[in-house]
């Protein structure tokens, strides 16, 4: 509250209160270094993971992040190289997974694969009808008449929608007509951000069965060959300078960091048999 007199506190509108402005201000300030994948952005991604995993805060945070093009921002942050970028990529994948998690934000009820696919196809048909009504046939002829499965393919969307529209037309479609992005956000000011946000919005949700098929029961050779987890944090000396290079194992899904870690766990478990 702001003081309006000696020892007096004036009324503060709800939209101007600290509770209402904290997360938008944190998003604007901490995402300034997203292109470089800085430490501030990594901390903001961790905050997003915490807020998206809690039902009381998920509804507002998820809507706000999608409106600001968070998926495109995560992709930009993971485009560099280095240890910090590796962790940023993992955190960005966690945020993207939580944003797409099939659950009702109102009551926390699980959404089945059929219901999620039906809702997505309804949104796809809404955009197809909008394009059919607003754009001439010679500009966008195939997209409005394609079936939903074809209309959601990234290659088809790039060639039949994104490549056929100018920068202003693409922004008008994504921001104003479809309402996918906030027209005033920095992601919507670039063509790559508009294209990425549009493709992610049209992306077909992955079924749980397909997701489970992609999980390995044992660590793959690629997982065992990665030695940049715990050893990198030891080499940095730990402390404040290198502590951000390592995160909690359950949060990052890093059960098998190195070949040595895997063998030690196998040998330790065999002693109790």
- pLDDT of the residue at 30: 79
* 128 has pLDDT over 90: yes
Q: pLDDT by residue (tens digit) across 64-93?
A: 999 998 888 877 766 655 555 777 788 888
Query: From CA 257, how far away is CA 132, in angstroms rounded?
Result: 51
Higher pLDDT, 38 or 272: 38
Give the model's confidence band at 159: pLDDT under 50 very low, under 70 low, under 90 confident, else very high.
very high
pLDDT (mean) for 143-172: 93
Higher pLDDT, 42 or 146: 146
* 130 has pLDDT over 80: yes
Q: pLDDT by residue (tens digit) across 220-246?
A: 666 556 555 444 333 333 333 333 333
pLDDT (mean) for 40-46: 85
Domain edges within the chain: 3-99, 113-201, 216-271
pTM over 0.85: no
- pLDDT of the residue at 24: 87
Q: Among 34-38, 102-106, 177-181, 200-204, whose mean pLDDT is lowest?
A: 34-38
Torsion angle defined by CA atoms of residues 181, 37, 85 and 77, in that order, rounded to the nearest 10 degrees: 20
Higher pLDDT, 4 or 88: 88
Q: What is the mean pLDDT of the chain?
A: 76
pLDDT (mean) for 100-104: 83
**Distance between start and end Cα atoms, the chain:** 63
Which CA distances in Å does 26 have to 60, 61, 97, 133?
14, 12, 21, 39
């Amino acid at each position: 509250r702001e003081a309006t007199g000696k020892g007096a506190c004036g009324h503060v509108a709800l939209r101007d209160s600290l509770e209402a402005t904290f997360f938008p201000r944190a998003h604007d300030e901490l995402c300034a270094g997203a292109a470089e994948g800085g430490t501030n952005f990594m901390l903001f991604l961790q905050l997003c993971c915490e807020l998206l995993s809690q039902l009381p805060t998920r509804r507002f945070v998820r809507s706000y992040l999608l409106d600001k093009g968070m998926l495109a921002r995560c992709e930009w942050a993971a485009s560099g190289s280095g240890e910090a970028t590796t962790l940023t990529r993992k955190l960005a994948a966690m945020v993207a997974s939580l944003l797409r998690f099939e659950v009702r934000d109102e009551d926390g009820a699980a959404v089945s694969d059929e219901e999620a696919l039906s809702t997505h196809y309804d949104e796809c048909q809404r955009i197809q009808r909008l394009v059919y009504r607003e754009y001439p046939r010679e500009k966008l002829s195939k997209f409005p008449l394609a079936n939903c499965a074809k209309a959601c393919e990234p290659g088809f969307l790039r060639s039949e929608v994104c490549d056929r529209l100018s920068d202003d037309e693409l922004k008008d479609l994504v921001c104003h007509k479809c309402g996918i992005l906030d027209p005033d956000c920095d992601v919507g000011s670039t063509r790559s951000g508009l294209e990425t946000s549009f493709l992610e919005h049209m992306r077909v949700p992955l079924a749980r069965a397909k997701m489970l098929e992609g999980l390995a029961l044992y660590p793959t050779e690629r997982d065992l060959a990665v030695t940049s987890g715990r050893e990198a944090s030891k080499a940095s000396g730990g402390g404040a300078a290198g502590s951000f290079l390592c995160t909690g194992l359950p949060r990052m899904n890093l059960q098998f960091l190195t070949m040595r870690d895997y063998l030690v766990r196998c040998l330790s478990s065999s002693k109790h048999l």
